[in-house]
């Protein structure tokens, strides 16, 4: 059990049932790490990092997503709990955004989060969590002998679980589009007592075709645009692709997050350094 207290997930909790049986003591101990959770998970690390402000920024995004989930009826709510984080081009901060939102969910009493690394080109999330060489999503989709518990890794953060990308395959888009992927999402939503949110860290729309398939199954799409970096033409094209191939794109399904802004542009302007 001592392995579960490590910062990075281990293969100890590969059984899906382990998602429901974690030791509170270990979780609390991790939360009280003096250097800050966000820093430890690799999201940010600066000398004067204002964690409270960043936390509030992610919390504002999370509240919007949760409000959407709560506003849906039973059938659509499950769909709305599949949240796809994508962008038009690589490097806009999808993985950071995904991790930040996931970390923000750790304070939720009624939610658990499964973070799926579906960026088959870079698998940045898996690398950050040290799961790059572990069994992952593509392995599960291709090998029907694998169980969900084989690819779900509990993290040191309460209520957050990780699914790495797995070993890269040339047939990744087809595997993502398969029925087994849909079944995987259903398993996430129908197991456990708490409501589960699936955060899918996908590749950029203009670089990965599997993002289109994931967008079809996502009830909410968080489209990340980076300040001074993401070009308008790319966003136009990316949204156009999603609109044409993954259903109508409107404000009820797609929300945008402006990343890498100045502190002066943040809605959280009165935060205290902690």
Partner 1 sequence: MVGQLLTVIGDEARRIWYYRWIALFITAVIFVGGAIYVLRLPNVYDAWGQLYVNKETPVSVAAQGVSLVGDNFGSPYVVQRTLLNDQNLQQVIKQIDPRAASMDALAMARAVTGLRGHIFLSGDQGDGFFELHDIDTDPQRARAVVQTLLNLFISQNVSRNRDDLQRASTFLDQQIADYEKRIAALETQIDAFRRAHPAVVTVTVPQSTIIAPAAMASASSPAAASAAPAAPTSPALIEAQQRVNRLQGELDELHLRFTDLYPDVVAVRRQLADAQAARDVIASAPPPPAAAAAPAVASAPPSQPHVFARVRRQVAASVPPDVKAQWIDLQHSDEVLRAADQQLIAKRDATLMSIAVYGADGAGKYQLTRAPVTPAFPTGPNRVLLLGLAAVGAVGAGLAGAYLRGAIDGVFISPREVEDAFQLPVIGTVSWEAAWDTRAPRRRIPLSGPAALLIAFVCIAGQVHAARTADLVTKPAPTGQIQGAQA
Q: Which residues sit at the interface with partner 1, rule CB under 8 A?
A: 42-46, 49, 53-54, 57-58, 60-61, 64-65, 93, 96-97, 100, 128, 222-223, 225, 227-233, 235-236, 239, 249-251, 254-263, 265-267
Nearer to partner 1, 66 or 138 (CB): 66
Nearer to partner 1, 42 or 173 (CB): 42
What's the rounded Cα separation, in Å, for the pair 147 and 225? 35
Of 194, 242, 238, 191, residue with least CA distance to 220: 242
Nearer to partner 1, 14 or 202 (CB): 202
R_g over Cα of the chain? 18
Of 258, 257, 176, 252, residue with least CA distance to 219: 252
Nearer to partner 1, 58 or 105 (CB): 58
Nearer to partner 1, 22 or 266 (CB): 266
Nearer to partner 1, 144 or 250 (CB): 250
Of 111, 63, 86, residue with least CA distance to 200: 86
What's the rounded Cα separation, in Å, for the pair 209 and 222? 17
What's the rounded Cα separation, in Å, for the pair 127 and 206? 22
How near is the Cβ of 127 to partner 1 at its closest, in Å?
Answer: 9
How near is the Cβ of 192 to partner 1 at its closest, in Å?
Answer: 27
Cβ atoms of residues 227 and 235 within 8 Å: no
How far the first Cα of the chain sits from its last, in Å, is 31
How near is the Cβ of 161 to partner 1 at its closest, in Å?
Answer: 22
Q: What is the per-residue burial (b if ≥16 Cβ within 10 Å, else e) of 8-34?
A: bbbeebbebebbeebeeebbeebeeee
- For the record, the structure tokens of 251 come out as 């404000």
How near is the Cβ of 177 to partner 1 at its closest, in Å?
Answer: 25
Nearer to partner 1, 206 or 256 (CB): 256
């Amino acid at each position: 059990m001592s392995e579960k207290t490590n910062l990075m997930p281990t293969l100890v909790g590969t059984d899906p049932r382990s998602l429901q049986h974690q030791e509170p003591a270990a979780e609390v101990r991790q939360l009280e790490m003096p250097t800050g959770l966000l820093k430890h998970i690799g999201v940010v690390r600066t000398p004067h990092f204002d964690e409270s402000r960043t936390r509030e920024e992610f919390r504002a995004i999370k509240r919007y997503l949760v409000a959407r989930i709560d506003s849906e009826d039973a059938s659509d709510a499950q769909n709305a709990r599949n949240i796809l984080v994508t962008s038009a081009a690589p490097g806009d901060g999808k993985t950071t955004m995904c991790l930040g939102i996931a970390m923000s969910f750790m304070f939720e009493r009624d939610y658990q989060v499964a973070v799926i690394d579906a960026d088959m080109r870079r698998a940045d999330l898996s690398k950050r969590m040290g799961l790059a060489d572990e069994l992952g999503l593509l392995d599960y989709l291709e090998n029907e002998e694998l169980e969900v518990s084989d690819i779900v890794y509990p993290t040191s953060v309460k209520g957050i679980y990780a699914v790495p990308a797995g070993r890269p395959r040339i047939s990744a888009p087809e595997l993502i589009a398969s029925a087994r992927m849909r079944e995987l999402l259903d398993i996430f939503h129908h197991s456990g007592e708490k409501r589960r949110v699936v955060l899918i860290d996908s590749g950029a729309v203009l670089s990965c075709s599997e993002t289109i398939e994931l967008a079809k199954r996502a009830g909410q799409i968080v489209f990340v645009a980076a300040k001074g970096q993401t070009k308008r033409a790319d966003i136009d094209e990316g949204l156009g692709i999603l609109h044409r191939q993954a259903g109508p794109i409107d404000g009820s399904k797609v929300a945008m997050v402006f990343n890498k802004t100045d502190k002066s542009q943040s809605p959280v302007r009165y935060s205290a350094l902690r």
